[in-house]
Structure 1
Amino acid sequence: MSTDRSAVMPALRRLAVLVAALMVASAANLAAQSAIGDQIRDSQDRLDQIRREKQQLAREYDQLSGQIHTFSEEISNIERRIGSSRGALDELDLQIQAYAIQVDETTRDMLRTHDDLVLRRTELEARLREIYKRGDLHAVQVVMEARSFGDLISRYKYLHLVARYDRTLVGQVQRLEEQLAAQRQQLAQEFARLRGLRGEKQREVRDLETLETQRERRLANTQRRVAQAQTRITQLEEEERQLGNLLAELERARREAERVAGTSTTPTLRTSDLGSLNWPVQGSVVYRFGEAKPDVEDVWKGIGIGAPRGTSVAAVESGSVAWAGSRGVLGQTVIIDHGGGYWSGYLYLQDLRVRSGDRVNSGQVIGHVGGDEGSASGTHVEFQIYEPGRDGNPRQVDPVRWLRGRS
């Protein structure tokens, strides 16, 4: 009995050492898997951040491009208005030149009128002096000196004609004076009108030229920002590509660690589940997988399900919460690992009811509908499904094919 015990004890000790070694190796493998998983999550976070920034830059790029188009149209419109105003200035200058010729002619007419007026005034003054010298009884004297009735009639007609001529002469002098005054007033008014119009057009041209300079500066600044945004987008695309490669390498390392550890997860999603999953929330589809996003050179990676804010959102199948937290522009987000390379994503949540690492069951509430009420999509949740890709990496697919048909 003593001999059997002494023979068994070394074997037990060797077995204990082997078990301990296996436990250490298993712990090391698990630690390695955990470290790789952390690296994957960190890398995925950086990749998501880059994609968000890229989308924001793309939106900014489109907006700036639209501004460039608007500024270009404004500048073109301003240039046309400046051309029109300058054309009006040219027409005013032609009018002023034509009016200057008219002024010269009018001035000559005024000089002739003035000379005629001087002549009439001189003649009138002479008649007045003659009448004054002869006195008030001159007409009576002329009549009384008539030698016959015929001579009387002749003298009377003469006096009548002289009186009428005197009245005509006075009227001519008055009309000439009024004509000169009217011509002077008309010239002054026309010159004032033309000077005012030309001054207004000059101010209009100056204002338009100032506006054109401002628009050209804003256009140049916008073009510079567009170039910067385009450069940054190019950089982000390259960084996204590099991080994508890194993520693929980390995923391969994770699978290798699982292989070495001899462990694997049983997927809770299978192709046999196609068309049988419950919808994460009841509502209308506001956008579909693969549709172009507005104002961004990108497409939707899932489907948008519109529902009132606060409506419960449930997991479509059981699994492990790989991520639960804020994703920037994507809002509160939950990503569930269903094993075997299958994942489901729930974006634009109002709040979270699970944490990273939690196990969830099918139909369990993981959050509530959020989304932006002011956006075109309104309050909604975006639902995504990932399947194993040919390269072993998850690829996004149309979630509708996994969901139960609705009547």
Structure 2
Amino acid sequence: TELESQRVELKQQEEDLRSRLKTLQSERLARKDLIASLSQEIKNKGFARDKLAQDRARIEALLAKLVLRDTNLDGAVFTNAKGQLNWPVEGQLTYRFGDPRAGGRLSWEGIYFSAPSGSVVTAVGRGLIVFSDWLRGFGLLTIIDHGTEQMSLYGFCDSLVKQNGDWVESGEIVAFAGQSGGQDVDGLYFEIRINGQPTNPLAWLAKR
């Protein structure tokens, strides 16, 4: 009958509406989960950015103190070796100077080599060890003063060989690579600072 047909049609419409409602609810939940996920990602990136900024401030403060020391080093030797320095570790170059960090809000002020834990880390030039200890954000860190406010930094090490006040020659072992900086991959973080400012280490190291 016509009445029965209308009932069937209405029931079908009701089922269609319920199905659409269920779909909309699922989509709403999916959007909610996506928003929550994005919010957490933004929060994590913000935390990482703030942490990196604090780490950067920490190393800047340390270097500001170190450059005040008079080491009586002739920095000309190091300066003249620009573009010819030995690489500090045998490994794969993973991050380059200026590469983005923390979602692009910050950038790498040095370079990162991925290398097996325990890989030998050597001084890129003659100098005086002015820091050899753990520093938050950099793990086990060695800093060598090469004279006239030229310094090389070796971070994320597994262990350190030299102590403050030790003199080292180019190629001499100063540490072993690791992941004491909290990174996921074993390796070495390396910086060169001139007058306290980070500079591209690849401009100083011998071409490969």
State the TM bucket, normalised to the shorter chain.
0.5 to 0.7
Number of aligned residue pairs: give it: 202
Alpha-carbon deviation of 1:204? 4.3
Q: Confirm whether residue 199 of structure 1 aligns to residue 3 of structure 2.
A: no
The one of 170, 174, 182 aligned to 1:362:
170
Alpha-carbon deviation of 1:207? 6.0
Q: Distance in 1 between matches of 2:102 and 2:53?
A: 20
Which residue pairs with 1:384 in the alignment?
191
Alpha-carbon deviation of 1:280? 1.2
TM-score (norm 2): 0.68
Cα distance change on mapping 1:218 and 1:335 into 2, 3 Å: same
Q: Secondary structure at the match of 1:205?
A: helix
Which residue pairs with 2:201 in the alignment?
399
Cα distance change on mapping 1:195 and 1:217 into 2, 3 Å: same
The CA deviation string for residues 279-327 of structure 1, in whole angstroms up to 9 with x for no partner, is 2123343333223347332222223334333221111223332323334
The CA deviation string for residues 7-32 of structure 1, in whole angstroms up to 9 with x for no partner, is xxxxxxxxxxxxxxxxxxxxxxxxxx
Cα distance change on mapping 1:221 and 1:323 into 2, 3 Å: same
Which residue pairs with 1:277 in the alignment?
85
Q: Distance in 1 between matches of 2:53 and 2:101?
A: 18
Q: Distance in 1 between matches of 2:176 and 2:73?
A: 28
Alpha-carbon deviation of 1:227? 8.4
RMSD across aligned C-alpha pairs, in angstroms? 4.4
The CA deviation string for residues 352-404 of structure 1, in whole angstroms up to 9 with x for no partner, is 223344433332222222259x95xx54322211122xxxxx11112223223
Q: Distance in 1 between matches of 2:44 and 2:108?
A: 26
Which residue pairs with 1:331 in the alignment?
139
* Residues 174-253 of structure 1 aligned to structure 2 (within 5 Å): 187=4, 191-192=7-8, 194-195=10-11, 198-199=14-15, 201-202=17-18, 204-206=20-22, 208-209=24-25, 212=28, 215-216=31-32, 219=35
The CA deviation string for residues 236-287 of structure 1, in whole angstroms up to 9 with x for no partner, is 979x78x969976x678x46xx6xxxxx522455322223322212334333
Q: Supply the AA of the counterpart residue of 1:382.
A: Y
The CA deviation string for residues 136-176 of structure 1, in whole angstroms up to 9 with x for no partner, is xxxxxxxxxxxxxxxxxxxxxxxxxxxxxxxxxxxxxxxxx
Contact residue 267 and residue 342 of structure 1 kept, 8 A: no
The CA deviation string for residues 320-357 of structure 1, in whole angstroms up to 9 with x for no partner, is 32323334443332222223211101123222223344
Which residue pairs with 2:116 in the alignment?
308
Q: Work out which structure has the larger RCO, using CA pairs closer than 8 Å and 6 or more positions apart in sequence.
A: 2
Cα distance change on mapping 1:195 and 1:284 into 2, 3 Å: same
Which residue pairs with 1:342 in the alignment?
150
Unaligned runs of 5+ in 2: none
TM-score (norm 1): 0.39
Q: Distance in 2 between matches of 1:229 and 1:353?
A: 35
Structure having the larger proportion of residues in helix: 1
* Residues 281-296 of structure 1 aligned to structure 2 (within 5 Å): 281-293=89-101, 295-296=103-104
Matched-pair identity in %:
26
Q: Supply the AA of the counterpart residue of 2:193.
A: Y
Structure having the larger proportion of residues in strand: 2
Q: Distance in 2 between matches of 1:247 and 1:333?
A: 12
Q: Supply the AA of the counterpart residue of 1:208.
A: L
